[in-house]
Amino acid sequence: MIKSLSLTNFRKHGELDLKFQEEGQLVLINGKNGVGKTSILEAITFALYGEGRAGRKNLDMLVKRGAELEGMSVEMSFTLGQDLYRIHRRRDGKNSTAVLYVNDSPLVEGALGVTAEITALLGMDSQGFKLAVVAQQKDLDGLSSVRPAERAQMITRLLRLDVLTKAKDEANATFRKEREIFKELQTLSLLDSPKSDLQQLKTDLQTASLELSNSSQNLQTLKDSYATLEPVNARWVEANVAHQVAVSNFHKIESELKEIQNEYARLVVPQELPQLNSDINQLSQKIVKVENEIAQAELYQKTVEQSRIVNQDIISLEKKMLTKQNELKALPSFSQDLEQNYNNLLTAIKESDATLLKLQKDLTLASQLELDLTLKLKNNQNAEGLCEHCGQNISPQHQANQAKELNDQLAANNEILLKLRSELSLLEADRKQYSNQEAEFTQAINENKIATLTSKNLTEQIKELHLRILTLNKQLANNPAKLPVGTLEELYEEKTNLATLASKLQRNLDYNQKREQILSTKLKLQVNQISLESKLSLAKEELTAKLPNPQLQEEYENLKTLSEKIEQENLILTHWTAQMAKIQEQITSQEVALSKSLIREQARNQHQLNAINNANAATLLLDVSEKLAQEIRPLLEANVSNLLTLMSEDRFTQVQLSEEYEVTVLDDEKFRPLSELSGGEIDLVALALRLALADVVSSRHGSGGAGFLILDECFASQDQERRSTILSALRNLKTSYHQIFLVSHVENMEDYVDQVISISLNADRSETEIICS
């Protein structure tokens, strides 16, 4: 009997603490669909077996959304016999923990250990528990309304006889598979071709070995002759290199000479233009003088025009100057020691960086030394012969001494490494602090520089405004007269005439200067052409002198002929080497084929034996399944009759089950089919059959059962009268089931039960609300 159930972050339930009444047989869990009714029953299964609806898959889905970091826990207490048991299970991330207490003393710890202990206490695993304790409406409807074959299949599943059927089907499948493999191996053994004569292959191998030896001797003789003539190759290469250098030099000079000749031919010297009498410098001076006179005239004319608005400009400038002075007074002041403190910090950072660099170098050297010592230690373990360090014979004692010395050096180096890493960590922390201070100083200095620059700019602007005001005041003091009309136009005309003459004179100067450059370039090309013609004559003489002599060429041809013979002999040697490998491969293939044939014969015999064993196992399992079905049906009839007698208050006292588990009920001294009963009576019989199946499952597990029953949504299809009949009948099962949990969203059932647990969701549907009455 379940005494209490506490949930934390399980499915929709954040916190839930339920206490069940001692004498409360019928416990109703009601509420609308989707509020978490079935989750309470799922929590019972999780507490007992550590499983959810899908077994042990997707256990993370049991944790309330948003509470993944807090984790989920379920605690349940129940009585079994005279003992009080309490289970506490938790789920944190991917880890599950569990503890089982008996009479407040720890009994078992660990998720798997608690599940195994519960399985032993109840006499059933999680699958058996679900079949024996949990009944759903689909089970009741199936037992009373489906076709006979489907009903037989359902009852077989509920009685867990499908395990035998599955084992029988697997044995038959294995039998067929092993039989097919045996047939294939039998066919392969018939297809084995007769093996070639291994002795003939070995004779061919000896012949190829003799040919290979002869070819190796011929090749060595040719290589000796080639070694005698090999210096000729070096002299030939040297002569050819010298000749190629001479050829390259000749072509290079020839190409340069041709390029200069083409460039000289492309140059055309233009005719010389006559000289003009005017001087460009004098014209430039006259133009400057006229431009100055024009500027002065324009300035006089503008100042007269602007005199009307000078007073307004002076007033505007004075206002601007007053604004700039106020801005200058509002600028912040900074400490004079800021730059000095920042320089001191930079010095400290520089020293810290130097120390950090030295530590990093020392750490690199120590790490490299650690790798060298480790490699030496490994080489010492595999060393043989003479020691590469001391020249002594390497004995076990010598190896041990070397290993001890290297291990001591390695330990000392590890201490240095630890010390260096510690110092480096401290220094990096200081360097990080320096970097933060540097950023703060940099920001302050930048702000100081901005303020200084702003102050300087404001001062300059004020000074400029003051000067402009003075200048305007001076302009007001002078009242220049207007220039006579026509004076400025005459100056413009004079400037235009002078500019035209200067432009013409400049074009003549540029033209003559370009002509002089072309003449100079042609002269240089003539000099280079004469020089290259002389170099080309010398290169041609050198080209003739660098030709290889006929005797060296003849010796080189003999060397090439000898090289070709060596290449041919190498081909012969390669042929016989490949022939030997091919023959050896054939010998190995024949030996492997013989070995595989023996292995295939052994495998064929083993698969034949497996097929026979599985055929016998399938037959045996079929016999066991039929025998169990024959034994269970009378037991099931008796259980249904007893339960129906209690639930119907002695109206129905006996039932009969056909081979297809079709139920007939004794009524008025006549066995009637279910079709002749009322709807409520049919539901009563179906429920009795389902409970009898649960009893059979419990008894087959060697246990008296869990002592409670769960009916999940078994009242949705019944009317009020039929529900009343079923609930009244359930009260007659007090001796078999001390607790019956009724999960339903159907209304108006509260008056028929002992305890009501109402579940609803709050306004934002984030938490469940529980009312127990």
3-state class (DSSP) for residue 63: strand
Q: Does a structural domain hold residue 634?
A: no
| Higher pLDDT, residue 593 or 375 | 375
Residue range 478-506: mean pLDDT, rounded: 70
Q: Does a structural domain hold residue 588?
A: no
Confidence of residue 188 (pLDDT cuts 50, 70, 90): low
Q: What percent of the chain has pLDDT over 90?
A: 7
Residue range 654-662: mean pLDDT, rounded: 80
Q: Which domain holds residue 182?
A: 169-192+603-626
711-to-51, 130, 135, 678, 726 alpha-carbon distances in Å = 19, 11, 5, 22, 11
Checking if the pLDDT of 271 tops 90, the result is no
**Domain shared by 128 and 174, yes or no:** no
**Of the residues 413, 441, 469, the one at which a domain ends:** 441
**Domain shared by 610 and 679, yes or no:** no
**pLDDT on residue 196:** 53
Confidence of residue 159 (pLDDT cuts 50, 70, 90): low
What are φ and ψ of residue 72, in 5° steps?
-125, 145
**Domain shared by 653 and 767, yes or no:** yes
Length of the chain: 773
Residue range 179-201: mean pLDDT, rounded: 69
Residue range 296-304: mean pLDDT, rounded: 72
**Domain shared by 90 and 117, yes or no:** yes
Q: What angle do CA 607, 608, 609 make, to 5 degrees?
A: 90
**pLDDT on residue 4:** 92
Checking if the pLDDT of 449 tops 60, the result is yes
3-state class (DSSP) for residue 377: helix
**pLDDT on residue 484:** 47
CA distance 183 to 194: 21
Strand order across the beta sheet in which 2-10 lies? 13-19, 2-10, 72-80, 83-92, 95-102, 105-109
- What domain count does the chain have? 4
Q: Does a structural domain hold residue 56?
A: yes
Give residue-wise pLDDT tens across range 229-247.
778 777 777 778 888 888 8
**Domain holding 46: CATH number?**
3.40.50.300
Q: Does a structural domain hold residue 224?
A: no
Q: Does a structural domain hold residue 211?
A: no
Q: Does a structural domain hold residue 715?
A: yes
Residue range 505-520: mean pLDDT, rounded: 79
Tokens 């003075």, residue? 470
Confidence of residue 71 (pLDDT cuts 50, 70, 90): very high
Q: Does a structural domain hold residue 388?
A: yes
The residue type found at 359 is L
CA distance 237 to 259: 33
On whether the CB atoms of residues 377 and 401 are closer than 8 A, the answer is no
**Domain shared by 147 and 11, yes or no:** yes
What are φ and ψ of residue 273, in 5° steps?
-85, 150
CA distance 597 to 371: 53
**pLDDT on residue 8:** 93
Checking if the pLDDT of 770 tops 90, the result is no
**pLDDT on residue 386:** 57
Checking if the pLDDT of 166 tops 80, the result is no
3-state class (DSSP) for residue 523: helix
Most confident of 21-30, 297-306, 615-624: 21-30
pTM: predicted TM-score of the whole model, two decimal places: 0.43
CA-nearest of 292, 265, 195, 165 to 625 is 165
Give residue-wise pLDDT tens across range 566-588.
888 888 889 888 888 888 888 88
Give residue-wise pLDDT tens across range 725-761.
778 777 877 777 788 888 888 877 888 888 998 888 7
CA distance 613 to 728: 54
**Of the residues 441, 473, 501, the one at which a domain ends:** 441
Q: What angle do CA 717, 153, 621 make, to 5 degrees?
A: 155
**Domain shared by 117 and 45, yes or no:** yes
Q: What is the token pair recorded at 756?
A: 């009501």
**Domain holding 345: CATH number?**
1.10.287.510
**Domain shared by 8 and 154, yes or no:** yes
Tokens 């409670």, residue? 708
| Higher pLDDT, residue 158 or 379 | 379
Checking if the pLDDT of 479 tops 60, the result is no
481-to-302, 303, 307, 488, 772 alpha-carbon distances in Å = 11, 10, 12, 15, 113
Q: Does a structural domain hold residue 251?
A: no
Q: What is the token pair recorded at 267?
A: 């140059």
Instruction: Among 5-9, 526-530, 552-556, 562-566, name the one with the lowest average pLDDT.
Output: 552-556
**Domain shared by 6 and 134, yes or no:** yes
What are φ and ψ of residue 6, in 5° steps?
-125, 130
Checking if the pLDDT of 35 tops 70, the result is yes
**pLDDT on residue 312:** 74
What is the pLDDT of the chain when averaged over all its residues? 79
- What is the DSSP track for 609-667? HHHHHHHHHHHHHHHHHHHHHHHHHHHHHHHHHHHHHHHTTTS---EEE-TT--EEEE-
On whether the CB atoms of residues 212 and 576 are closer than 8 A, the answer is yes
Confidence of residue 677 (pLDDT cuts 50, 70, 90): confident
**Domain shared by 99 and 42, yes or no:** yes
**Domain shared by 654 and 618, yes or no:** no
3-state class (DSSP) for residue 105: strand
For 467, counting Cβ atoms within 10 Å of its Cβ (0-12 exposed, 13-18 middle, 19+ buried), the class is exposed
**Domain shared by 25 and 148, yes or no:** yes
**Of the residues 545, 575, 592, the one at which a domain ends:** 545
**Domain shared by 114 and 173, yes or no:** no
Give residue-wise pLDDT tens across range 389-441.
555 666 778 778 888 888 888 899 899 989 888 888 888 888 888 888 888 87
Checking if the pLDDT of 471 tops 60, the result is yes
Q: What angle do CA 745, 747, 752 make, to 5 degrees?
A: 105
